[in-house]
Each structure stands twice: as C-alpha cells, then as structure tokens.
Amino acid sequence: MIQLIINGQPQRFPLPDQARPPKSDQHDAMLNITQLLAHMALQGKRIAIERNGEIVPRSKYDEQVLTDGDKLEIVVAVGGG
C-alpha cells in the first residue's frame, strides 16, 4: 500500500504489482499518476494536478511515479465569479 494526501485527505492505495509476489527486492511495485487516476475513476476528466506544490503536466502522468506521503491537489473548474 501507499499513502497519499489527496486534497488534504490521507488516502491509501494498493500498488499495482502487489497482488503478485515480488521477483526481487529491487523490483518495488510502483504507482504512477495515470494508474492513480484510474483507481479514482478520474481518467479522461478535465482536471489538473499539483504534486508537492509543483504542477504535473498531463503529458507526464505516465512517468510520474508516486512516493509514500506525496501531497496531491486535484482540481476542476466550477462556477464562480
């Protein structure tokens, strides 16, 4: 499991490879942002993400591997004046 702080709330997510027994200690299971969004049913939604204070461009969702304790902000556009 990995713990992330998403929009100020601590949340735990299973790592994708955890179901299978690890082949070696070096091969840690990893969760990237694309996989996280799939978990949260947010894939393909109009959102923007900040990770530990830095914007994560949409094109980088696959390569950004999350670390335990990462702070994410996931935002949408809402009505406002």
Partner 1 sequence: MDNFIIAGKTYSSRLLVGTGKYRDFAETRAAVDASGAEIITVAIRRTNLGQNPGEPNLLDVLPPSQYTLLPNTAGCYTVDDAVRTLRLARELLDGHSLVKLEVLGDPKTLYPNVVETLKAAEILIKEGFQVMVYTSDDPIAAKQLEEIGCIAIMPLASLIGSGMGILNPWNLQIIIENATVPVIVDAGVGTASDAAIAMELGCDGVLMNTAIAAAQNPVLMASAMKKAVEAGREAYLAGRMAKKLYSASPSSPVSGTIASSKGKAS
Interface positions with partner 1 (CB under 8 A):
6-9, 11, 40-42, 45-50, 53, 55-58, 73-81
3-state secondary structure of 54: strand
Rg of the chain taking only CA atoms, in angstroms: 14
Pair of tokens at residue 35: 């996989």
CB of 76 to partner 1, least distance (A): 5
Pair of tokens at residue 80: 């406002």
Select 7 or 18, whichever has its Cβ closest to partner 1: 7
CB of 21 to partner 1, least distance (A): 31
